[in-house]
A and B are shown apart, each in its own frame.
Chain A
């Protein structure tokens, strides 16, 4: 490699197009370069392709055109270094497992191949649970958690993967405002050691935290939050943004 790893983007999308089967394009010509340790927000209307974009970065969907590189590799090879927090838990809440075991799942692929989880795995899981303040819930059945608590479980599970990139899909959609602020406060802390991509519908809120906002509605336009310091958040992200996202 000619470039030093620091200057190379950790996520690099070039002219990425995506459609489901024969449907209309969901993403059109997406160019996105995310440098290391950036905290970037992806906003846009429902069905604008936000979750699809995350799944392309994860290699769960293959673009029909364009190039995707994550940590200098194909997404499926880089996947083990990505922590992913889905919008909706992709599991059934009545599954017989407690918080500790749900979080431990993030150790898969890092832990040994055979048998159960090691003591080291458990310690890592407890550390991640401490960071998201859910240690006291360790033995609770996942069915008994509130929306906010479950959200923290999902974040802890992504953290024990020891990720270099953390992807969050609408982390605040099912929880109340106070918890929402908490989540972004600790995301800012995690940002010291990892790149964070957060998808949200609430641009006014996330712009207080992120370095850059990517506006996605089939096509993608980036706005640097530093560029718009002079104006108030309300002006920019309250009403105008709706218009911006419609115009794309």
Chain B
């Protein structure tokens, strides 16, 4: 109740809700691929590496999000190539890149001239500080994601389902896989402001994993995960508002508890 009243009154809350809706679109669509193709660890690697880019951008005086986007895409391509061509070292290399990105970011940010950037904001997000400019950026990135996914819907479904068969049907499997990783990279950038780099991975997996328990079709999974993410973000925001909890962390806990409850219900019903 308190939240609803505040929502009507405060513009920053309205922007936060709008940002939640933006986040839910990319979580629903890209998260579905992350879950069905089991790319959670890779997505985590991409997300954490992004801090290096943000730090570098801040240090050299560029907008933080431009650094984030460039690094996310670069990390996606590098990790994709490791996965494709250096399989035996995959675990080590992904873990190393993950840590190196974070380390570089922390050093850049510590050495940034002028004002001290709030490291915590990038790591854990701050949905209450979303600016209209960021909403537009999220909208633009979401549009890119939606267009690419709709255009290549059956191709992505095919490589997620059965890579070998997709290759036999003449699909450029490697290229599609790298594009898919770039989509994850773009979603990470959309989600940084909401829940931060560290918590991104939960929003890219839990809503889709919950939907997978109820629907048997990629498109339905995308729609259901989008709705679920929106519910998580808005309810997490509302729950955190009264007791003044960090919003991003509250959203993640709501998602995790729901996943646990849903899994138990599904198990119990079988």
CA distance A90 to B152 in the complex (A): 21
Taking the complex as formed, is A96 at the interface, i.e. its CB lies under 8 A from any CB of chain B? yes
Task: Report whether B158 and A108 are in contact in the complex, using a CB–CB cutoff of 8 Å.
Answer: yes
Task: Report whether B153 and A116 are in contact in the complex, using a CB–CB cutoff of 8 Å.
Answer: yes
Given contacts A95-B36, A96-B36, A97-B217, contact A60 B161 (CB under 8 A): no
B141-175 contacts to A, CB under 8 A, are 150-155, 157-158, 160-171
Task: Report whether B218 and A96 are in contact in the complex, using a CB–CB cutoff of 8 Å.
Answer: yes
Task: Report whether A161 and B154 are in contact in the complex, using a CB–CB cutoff of 8 Å.
Answer: no
Given contacts A96-B221, A102-B161, contact A109 B171 (CB under 8 A): yes
Residues of A within 8 A of B154 (CB): 104-105, 108, 111, 115-117
CA distance A86 to B36 in the complex (A): 21
Per-residue 0/1 for A106-129: is the Cβ within 8 Å of any B Cβ (1 yes, 0 no)?
Answer: 101101001111000000000000
Per-residue 0/1 for A50-80: is the Cβ within 8 Å of any B Cβ (1 yes, 0 no)?
Answer: 0000000010100000000000000000011
CB distance from A41 to the nearest CB of B (A): 22
Given contacts A91-B162, A96-B221, A97-B216, contact A115 B151 (CB under 8 A): yes
Task: Report whether A80 and B153 are in contact in the complex, using a CB–CB cutoff of 8 Å.
Answer: no
Task: Report whether A109 and B169 are in contact in the complex, using a CB–CB cutoff of 8 Å.
Answer: yes
Task: Report whether B168 and A79 are in contact in the complex, using a CB–CB cutoff of 8 Å.
Answer: yes
Given contacts A115-B150, A116-B153, contact A105 B162 (CB under 8 A): yes
Residues of B within 8 A of A101 (CB): 157, 217
* Closest Cβ neighbor of A105 among chain B residues: B158
Given contacts A95-B160, A108-B155, A111-B154, contact A60 B217 (CB under 8 A): no
Taking the complex as formed, is B215 at the interface, i.e. its CB lies under 8 A from any CB of chain A? yes
Q: Which residue of the partner chain, among A60, A98, A161, contacts B164 with CB atoms under 8 Å?
A: A60
Task: Report whether A96 and B216 are in contact in the complex, using a CB–CB cutoff of 8 Å.
Answer: yes
Interface size class of A (residues with CB under 8 A): 20 to 34
* Closest Cβ neighbor of A91 among chain B residues: B162
CB distance from A109 to the nearest CB of B (A): 4
* Closest Cβ neighbor of B171 among chain A residues: A108
Residues of B within 8 A of A116 (CB): 153-154
Task: Report whether B161 and A97 are in contact in the complex, using a CB–CB cutoff of 8 Å.
Answer: yes
Residues of A within 8 A of B152 (CB): 114
CA distance A117 to B221 in the complex (A): 18
Taking the complex as formed, is A201 at the interface, i.e. its CB lies under 8 A from any CB of chain B? no
Q: Which residue of the partner chain, among B161, B165, B218, contacts A84 with CB atoms under 8 Å?
A: B165
CA distance A143 to B217 in the complex (A): 12
Residues of A within 8 A of B220 (CB): 96
Task: Report whether B157 and A97 are in contact in the complex, using a CB–CB cutoff of 8 Å.
Answer: yes
Residues of A within 8 A of B163 (CB): 90
Residues of A within 8 A of B169 (CB): 80, 105-106, 108-109, 161
CB distance from A103 to the nearest CB of B (A): 11
CA distance A96 to B164 in the complex (A): 18
CB distance from B219 to the nearest CB of A (A): 9
CA distance A24 to B171 in the complex (A): 32
Given contacts A96-B36, A108-B155, A115-B150, contact A58 B168 (CB under 8 A): yes
Taking the complex as formed, is B193 at the interface, i.e. its CB lies under 8 A from any CB of chain A? no
Scoring A95, A109, A161 by chain B CB atoms within 10 A of each residue's CB, the highest score goes to A95
Taking the complex as formed, is B212 at the interface, i.e. its CB lies under 8 A from any CB of chain A? yes
Task: Report whether A109 and B215 are in contact in the complex, using a CB–CB cutoff of 8 Å.
Answer: no
Task: Report whether A98 and B216 are in contact in the complex, using a CB–CB cutoff of 8 Å.
Answer: yes
Taking the complex as formed, is A37 at the interface, i.e. its CB lies under 8 A from any CB of chain B? no
CA distance A60 to B165 in the complex (A): 11
CA distance A117 to B170 in the complex (A): 16
* Closest Cβ neighbor of A79 among chain B residues: B168
Measured CB to CB, the residues of A under 8 A from B are 58, 60, 79-80, 82, 84, 86, 89-91, 94-98, 101-102, 104-106, 108-109, 111, 114-117, 141, 143, 157, 161
Beyond contacts A104-B154, A108-B170: 9 other A-B pairs, Cβ-Cβ < 8 A, are: A60-B167, A79-B168, A84-B168, A89-B162, A96-B215, A96-B217, A96-B218, A105-B165, A116-B153
7 contacting pairs across A/B (C-beta < 8 A) = A58-B168, A97-B161, A98-B216, A98-B217, A105-B162, A114-B151, A157-B165
Measured CB to CB, the residues of B under 8 A from A are 36, 150-155, 157-158, 160-171, 212, 215-218, 220-221
